[in-house]
């Protein structure tokens, strides 16, 4: 349940991180919203590769999940 929050945290972490989803399909719906704010995220199926950036910027986004 903390996957979206963890991805947001990893967006500004140094280096590259990988998140893997094994239970639900299409669970990375928050990735495009983070990318609008400047995040570098590459999603392929159940894997999301997050490369940290110095900072995110404000942008209009839409919540896709209650979490």
Domain edges within the chain: 3-51
pLDDT given at position 67: 62
Residue with the bigger pLDDT between 25 and 47: it is 47
Which of 45, 10, 13 minimizes the C-alpha distance to 26?
A: 45
pLDDT given at position 65: 74
DSSP string, 19-54: EE--S-TT--TTHHHHHHTT-EEEEETTEEEEE--S
What separation, in Å, do the N-terminal and C-terminal C-alpha atoms of the chain show? 7
| pLDDT tens profile 3-36 | 999 999 999 999 999 999 998 888 899 999 999 9
Full-model pTM: 0.88
pLDDT given at position 12: 98
Cα–Cα dist 49/21, whole Å: 12
């Amino acid at each position: 349940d903390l996957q979206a929050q963890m991805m947001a945290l990893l967006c500004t972490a140094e280096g590259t991180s990988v998140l893997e989803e094994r239970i639900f399909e299409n669970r990375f719906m928050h990735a495009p919203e983070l990318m609008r704010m400047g995040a570098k995220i590459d999603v392929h199926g159940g894997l999301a590769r997050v490369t940290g950036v110095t900072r995110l910027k404000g942008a209009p986004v839409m919540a896709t999940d209650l979490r």
